[in-house]
Structure 1
Amino acid sequence: MAWQEWEQLKAQAADRQSPQMRLNQLADQGGGGGSPQGDLVVGHKDLEAVGTAAHDLFNDFTTYSGHARVASEAAAGGLKGEGFALGAALEHVAERWTEQSKSLLDACAHISNHLRYTKNQHDADDSYIAGAVSSIATLDKGFDDRKGH
């Protein structure tokens, strides 16, 4: 195919395609979802389930990844001791496994700890707000008592 023929085919293809892009979607209603406030709702039970799953994954993965690490290191040592080059490669894999496992465990601990902190902070905020509202009600009652109601 000659260069001119290639350029002609590209030009023809460009003529057949529309330069505009069209996306199939709903009309924009403003905001981040179906309502002005958005449609993402998360309750305490949802957050508790996520925190529990992260905690369980942390505990289970700690146990099972430890077994895999020990077995891999033992196999690597045995292979290296017998003069197999595969032993060094398996040792490298075991080292990377340990590093990646620590990263996953750190992430699980971070999620679990953050959700526990968030729950405690929300409980403290709720308690503070209840106290503030109660104080306002007591103050209002005092004003009503002074008026003779």
Structure 2
Amino acid sequence: MADPEAGAHHGAADLKVNTDELGAVGHDAYVLHGRLARDGDHARASTFDAAIALTNGNFTSGAELLKVHDRWNSQLRTLLDACAQISNHLDYSKAAHAKDDADIGGNLTAVSKISEYFK
């Protein structure tokens, strides 16, 4: 983003969107989501089985391990949702800015054609 003070005083644009950077961050969030979905759930089943076995064996650590299991799943879902939202939002932003640029370009072309008639 450009310096907002420079834009205010010199008539320069004060917002600059680099769609390549948006795309890269969105892609990284997408890749992270995929890896978390696969690898973040790796030990869930065995952790749950161990918690149940410990609980059935009258070990108090079984209930505590089940709490760890549940907390991990909750945090993993939260992180997966955050990655999906980041990826989706940046994809949307990239597309929206491209559409805005095309609309503005089309409007300027139309204005320049109208100006030709006044010459």
Q: TM-score range by the shorter chain?
A: 0.7 to 0.9
Q: Deviations over 1:63-106 (max 9, x none)?
A: 11222222211221222222222111100100011111111111
Alignment map for 1:103-118 (pairs within 5 Å):
103-118=78-93
Unmatched tracts of structure 1, length 5 or more: 1-31, 145-149
Identity of aligned residues (%): 37
Higher relative contact order (CA 8 A, sep 6+): 2
Match of 1:128 among 74, 95, 103: 103
* Contact 2:37 2:80 survives alignment (8 Å): yes
Q: Deviations over 1:17-66 (max 9, x none)?
A: xxxxxxxxxxxxxxx69x735xx976222211111111111111011122
Match of 2:6 among 11, 14, 36: 36
Match of 1:61 among 14, 36, 56: 36
What TM-score results when the alignment is normalised by the length of structure 2?
A: 0.81
The AA in structure 1 aligned to 2:62 is G
Match of 1:98 among 48, 51, 73: 73
Q: 1:76 maps to which residue?
A: 51
The AA in structure 2 aligned to 1:136 is V
Secondary structure at the aligned position of 1:125 is classed as: helix
Structure exhibiting the larger radius of gyration computed from Cα positions? 1
* Contact 2:22 2:91 survives alignment (8 Å): no
Please provide the CA RMSD for this pair. 2.4
How many aligned positions are there?
112
Q: Residues of 2 paired with 1:107 and 1:48: CA distance? A: 17
Q: Residues of 2 paired with 1:42 and 1:90: CA distance? A: 46
Unmatched tracts of structure 2, length 5 or more: 8-14
